[in-house]
């Protein structure tokens, strides 16, 4: 869903720096418990996204895909907290504590989503897979090595899956399928895409498995030469660590 672009300004950063900052930001989002802090993080992440090269229309398009989740998160907290009642709908009571909890968790979810958008827009699937493989490959267990290979293949073929969906959708439109109309029709038509897509993907999966078997692959993913950390990378990692500890400590 999030499209990697090597031309983004922060795409040139080392993958270990991107991983570390994504983890640090996630920890800060998880352990901060005030609306002003979460709102400040939203502003900082938006500034970081725009500085890194993400366009406003693309960013808000990504966020717009999750508006049903935003609505559910807010409504669930609004009506399921005790306290002073704002208004009542049948047996449901909207309270001030629910309102604040809904806003807080909405901002927290938005922050996690912004971190994910930035990370996957600036980190290539190949670099993510290599880092993942290096991390779990050190465990030395065959199961984890197999999972690293599966993760790499899944990341590699995610763009292929998106293209397959577009191809199948255009083919169905050429045969008279209507993907417009009401919500029920849209859901029904998009569900009808699943069978042909999975048929094509299963065939491609079998081809990949046969190719790996012919090449004598034993489940180990060779990630290549490990990238060397520069002085600027180490400085960015230490800065991220210091900011994470400082924000959590003074929160």
What CA–CA distance (Å, rounded) separates 153 from 201? 12
Q: Are 117 and 126 in contact (CB under 8 A)?
A: no
Using the 8-state DSSP alphabet, how is residue 220 labeled? -
77: Cβ contacts below 8 Å, ≥ 6 apart: 98, 101, 102, 105
pLDDT in tens, 113-148: 999 888 888 887 767 766 666 665 555 555 666 666
Chain length of the chain: 251
Query: Which position has the higher pLDDT, 94 or 138?
Result: 94
Place of tokens 């309270």: 95
pLDDT, average across residues 58-62? 81
What CA–CA distance (Å, rounded) separates 71 from 88? 18
For 123-157, give the secondary structure using H, E and C: CCHHHHHHHHHHHHHCCCCHHHHHHHHHHHHHHHH
Strand-pair partners of 85 = 95
The alpha carbon of 138 is separated from its chain's Cα centroid by a whole number of angstroms, namely 25
On average, the pLDDT of the chain sits at: 77
Place of tokens 């983890």: 23
Share of the chain above pLDDT 70, in %: 76
pLDDT above 60 for 152: yes
Q: Are 29 and 115 in contact (CB under 8 A)?
A: yes
pLDDT, average across residues 48-59? 84
pLDDT score at 20: 86
Query: Which position has the higher pLDDT, 72 or 207?
Result: 72
pLDDT score at 83: 80
Query: Which position has the higher pLDDT, 115 or 92?
Result: 115
Q: Are 71 and 64 in contact (CB under 8 A)?
A: no
């Amino acid at each position: 869903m999030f499209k990697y672009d090597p031309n983004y300004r922060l795409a040139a950063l080392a993958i270990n720096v991107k991983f570390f900052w994504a983890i640090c930001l996630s920890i800060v989002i998880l352990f901060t418990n005030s609306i002003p802090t979460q709102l400040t993080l939203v502003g900082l992440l938006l500034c970081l996204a725009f500085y890194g090269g993400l366009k406003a229309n693309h960013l808000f398009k990504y966020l717009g895909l999750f508006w049903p989740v935003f609505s559910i998160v807010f409504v669930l907290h609004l009506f399921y907290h005790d306290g002073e009642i704002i208004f009542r709908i049948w047996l449901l009571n909207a309270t001030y504590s629910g309102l604040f909890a809904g806003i807080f968790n909405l901002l927290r979810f938005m922050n996690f989503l912004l971190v994910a958008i930035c990370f996957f827009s600036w980190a290539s699937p190949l670099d993510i897979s290599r880092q993942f493989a290096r991390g779990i490959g050190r465990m030395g267990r065959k199961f984890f090595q197999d999972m690293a290979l599966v993760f790499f293949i899944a990341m590699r073929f995610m763009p292929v899956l998106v293209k397959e969906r577009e191809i199948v959708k255009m083919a169905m439109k050429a045969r008279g399928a209507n993907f417009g109309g009401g919500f029920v029709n849209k859901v029904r038509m998009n569900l009808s895409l699943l069978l042909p897509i999975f048929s094509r993907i299963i065939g491609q999966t079998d081809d990949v498995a046969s190719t790996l078997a012919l090449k004598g692959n034993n489940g180990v993913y060779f990630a290549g030469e490990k990238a060397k950390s520069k002085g600027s990378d180490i400085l960015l990692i230490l800065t991220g660590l210091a900011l994470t500890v400082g924000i959590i400590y003074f929160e």
